Chain A
Amino acid sequence: MMSDDDSSRGPTSGTDRLIEILAKDAGAWHRFGTVLLKAVVIGVFAAAVVFIVLMNPRPDLEQVIQTARVLFKFIVTVPLAVAMIGLLDRIGRPAAPLGPWPWLLGGVGAILVVGVGVELAMVPSSEWAASLIGTYARYCLMFIPLIAIGPLVCFIVALRQGMPTNPGLAGAAAGVASGAIAAIFYATHCPDDSPLFVATWYTLATCIVAICGYFAGRRFL
């Protein structure tokens, strides 16, 4: 039989007084899931505002969205954002199992690999370098982090309501989630459609946000 030694409940005026105060504050509290959901809504809104101020969706989006290469950008970024937000919900709670989210992340990785493989198979090798470098790599590296700032701030604020065990990692995860949200927006503008470009520059841009998130996490969580 395992049990605590309850005789240890001694005359602990400070602790007893603390319990007294805490018990009377039973009412006001925030469900962490709700806090995170609010962060997602406000973060996506902030990202949308920055996106609209800085740039526009490409004019031919409605037509090209049906092409496999453009669709691919969303098939990668949308599940990545969803998986990372799901993961943040677990990271913010002490002792919560990570659940199915790492599997979804693995799936996103697999899709990315398959997409790159198909592209390599279909595009002649002489054009690989051109597809990889694209036309606007520098914009991609600049705009994705810019759009990601809003969501990142929201996620860090939300995680402060939680209790992540490893602040740096939690911040980095928040960075990847924000980067993924930003990438969804940027993908509607970006004219570089090769999976090679997406796998290289989108990933690099998201890594930049993740590094910012890591330091924000160390500092603020």
Chain B
Amino acid sequence: MTHPREQQWSVWMAAALKGDEVAYRHFLEAVTPHLRMLARRRMAAYGDDNQDHEDVVQEALLAVHLKRGTWDPRRPIGPWLSVILRNKIIDALRRRGHRVTVPIDDVIEVIADERSGTPTDGQDISRMMETLKPVQQDIVRSISLEGFSVRDTAVRLCMTENAVRVALHRALRSLAAIYRGGTR
């Protein structure tokens, strides 16, 4: 029996995989608080301060994005998200010298009365963007800061839409690699 909320997530994600940007945004916005809550809870258990879990949330979102081809729409999306988050938590803890394994049950289990503080940015995305190539920076800035669509960005930068998508995708992969490398 899947949680109705997760069924909604699955519907959105399935639509997103068909190229529906609105559904994808709904999905990402809906799962982020969930990931954040789980990350905060797990990281707190290992005595990590409040700043770190937002990194893990961003890293997990990137992984969800880059690895979304591994989700099978016939399977529930909750466990898939939980395993991705758990892997990112382990990466983050390991980078700081912990040797830990996080039991999957702890990540799946959801506690209702979890109160939350104001999340903060551990790692400023604009600072990380400085490590990207100039074209990638232009594209990410145009799309994220200035809010243009992929098509408009392509027109502004005199590129094809596909080239923008490819460059954006590469930029996201580099961001993920920066997280993995733990440049802090």
Does A163 touch B at the CB level, under 8 Å? yes
* Inter-chain contact A22/B65, CB cutoff 8 Å: yes
* Contact A163:B63 (CB < 8 A) given known A2-B112, A15-B119, A35-B69: yes
Does A30 touch B at the CB level, under 8 Å? yes
Which applies to chain A's interface (DSSP): helix, strand, loop or mixed?
loop
Residues of B close to A11: CB separation below 8 A: 118
What is the CA–CA distance of A26 and B161 in the complex, to the nearest angstrom?
A: 13
Q: How many pairs of residues, A versus B, come closer than 8 Å at their CB atoms? A: 151
What is the CA–CA distance of A23 and B84 in the complex, to the nearest angstrom?
A: 18
Of residues 1 through 57 on chain A, the ones whose CB sits less than 8 Å from some CB of chain B are 1-15, 17-32, 34-35
**Which residue of A3, A6, A22, A163 contacts B70 across the interface (Cβ within 8 Å)?**
A163
A21, chain B: closest CB distance, angstroms: 5
User: Which residue on chain A has the smallest CB distance to residue B25?
Assistant: A23
User: Which residue on chain B has the smallest CB distance to residue A97?
Assistant: B75
A49, chain B: closest CB distance, angstroms: 28
Of residues 80 through 94 on chain B, the ones whose CB sits less than 8 Å from some CB of chain A are 80, 82-84, 87
* Inter-chain contact A26/B37, CB cutoff 8 Å: no
* Contact A23:B21 (CB < 8 A) given known A3-B112, A13-B121, A163-B63: yes
B124, chain A: closest CB distance, angstroms: 6
What is the CA–CA distance of A32 and B68 in the complex, to the nearest angstrom?
A: 9
Interface positions of A (Cβ within 8 A of B): 1-15, 17-32, 34-35, 92-96, 161-163, 165
Given contacts A21-B168, A163-B70, 16 further A-B contacts (CB under 8 A): A2-B110, A5-B112, A8-B36, A9-B29, A12-B119, A14-B121, A21-B172, A23-B24, A23-B25, A30-B69, A94-B79, A94-B87, A95-B79, A95-B80, A96-B72, A163-B63
